[in-house]
Amino acid sequence: MVGYQLKLKSLIFVLALLVYGVSVANAADVSWSELSDAQRKVLNPLASEWDTLRPWQREKMLDIAKDYPKMNADKQALVKERLTNWSRMTPYERENARKRHQQFNALSTDKKAELRKKWLEYQKLPESERAKLRADSPDTYTDADLN
């Protein structure tokens, strides 16, 4: 009897994985025209390239659109700004941004905190000083880092 119950539980688990896998694949396979009005409103900066995004990229964007209504106004504005900036980047700039993000995530907690502190100090500087720093050190202060 125990062996039968174990097999039944295993079968149910496998079926659940298959059903979930199909639903995830279908969600990522949605064309721009199939998105809801609310999803299109949030993801509008990506409209021209939506149908060329990879399934995992679409899935990530759909997750953002799903969470968007729960965000406060400041967070919503930040999401819109980031999606707009991302949509304007070249594939090369996007790849560099992904690499920098991965490198940052690989840092220790202390190093991340130190970099965040420096970034806040940089943001407090007048635009003229920031422009001078960018001009003096173009490899350190790139446009992608500022958005």
**Sole residue written with tokens 């995992």:** 56
Delimit the domains of the chain by residue range.
Answer: 2-107
From first to last of its 147 residues, the chain has per-residue pLDDT tens of 555 554 555 545 544 544 554 444 455 688 899 999 999 999 999 999 998 888 988 999 999 999 999 999 999 999 999 999 999 999 899 899 989 999 999 999 999 999 999 989 988 989 999 888 888 887 765 544 444
pLDDT of residue 135: 87
Alpha carbon distance 78, 76 (integer Å): 5
- Provide the token pair at 102: 């991965």
Distances (CA, A) of 136 to 4, 65, 93, 122, 140: 72, 39, 21, 14, 9
- pLDDT tens digits for range 109-119: 999 999 999 98
pTM for the whole thing? 0.62
pLDDT of residue 41: 94
